[in-house]
Amino acid sequence: LVSREIQPADTLIRVGKVTIGQGHLTIMGGPCAIEGEAPAMAIAEQVKAAGGQIFRGGAFKPRTSPYTFQGLGLEGLKIMAKIRERFDMPVVTEVMDGETFDQVEEYADIVQIGTRNMQNFSLLKRAGQSRRPVMLKRGMSATLEEWLMAAEYILAGGNSNVILCERGVRTFVRHSRNTLDLSVVPVILKESHLPIIVDPSHAAGVRDQVLPLSRAAVAAGAHGLMVEVHHQPDQALSDGAQSLYPEQFITLCGHARRMHAML
């Protein structure tokens, strides 16, 4: 079902007034995690002003260490819903398990499945029954086939609104957190009709690489970007080192739109 041989026409996904897919460049921005209402509102205001169309933020966080900030859970989801109302921006947030799926689906416009859950098949089956579009991030060591087969679970379950998100794969390098695999973008455009967006933040792990990788992603044909932004990155409770300052996000949106207009 994910193959272009089965469906030649590009899938376009509409969330509120935003369209994701061929011909569009959708920029999503926001903090790694929702840390409280005031900081989330401050960041959302800046994301919106810069030209970001969708607000991102984690309420349920898949953290490597159980001793680090795990997210605000339901309280974080409620803050995201307030942001949607106040700024007229759809919101995307991660779902980690079947138990919280109903909750996440109630508050989010797009449900995100993270890299660590790409092959959580029961979660994929649940996502197939969701009324929300699903953003499926690539597993950090997943091949293209494994990733597309994970998407296939969601489509086979009845939900054809799937957005793929490349976020870097694990390699031997130490100069970045992961290695952004941009060659996967043209291959997906050829083999699948699903929209493909790129998350340069989790690929890079450091903010200096985010702007050049974003330009490159758009040049490679990505339909959008998902970028971590924080009003005070040095105070962030997670992923501060890769979070852009709001001014940097303004620059990124400008460069990305100009790059997209050139194509």
Binding site for Mn ion (CB under 5 A): 32, 239
- Considering only CA atoms, which of 197, 200, 213 is closest in space to residue 239? 200
Q: Please report, in angstroms and rounded to a whole number, the separation of the first and last CA atoms in the chain.
A: 28
CB 227 within 8 A of CB 239: no
Contact call for residue 260 and ligand PEP (CB under 6 A): no
Return the one option of ligand PEP, Mn ion, none that residue 94 interacts with (CB less than 5 to 8 A, by type).
ligand PEP
Q: Which among ligand PEP, Mn ion, none contacts residue 115 (Cβ within 5 to 8 A by kind)?
A: ligand PEP
200 binds ligand PEP (CB under 6 A): no
Binder of ligand PEP out of 62, 73, 205, 221 (CB under 6 A): 62
Minimum distance, C-beta of residue 230 to Mn ion, in the bound complex (Å): 10
- CB 111 within 8 Å of CB 126: no
CA-based radius of gyration for the chain: 17
**Cβ 203 to ligand PEP shortest distance, Å:** 8
Residue from 29, 76, 114, 246 that binds ligand PEP (CB under 6 A)? 114
Q: What is the C-alpha to C-alpha distance for residues 10 and 163, in angstroms, rounded to an integer?
A: 12
Residue 184 to residue 220: CA distance in whole angstroms: 9
177 touching ligand PEP, by CB under 6 A: no
Total residues at interface with ligand PEP (CB under 6 A) = 10
Q: Which residue has the tokens 């852009």?
A: 244
Which positions touch ligand PEP (CB under 6 A)? 32, 58, 62, 94, 114-115, 137, 167, 199, 202
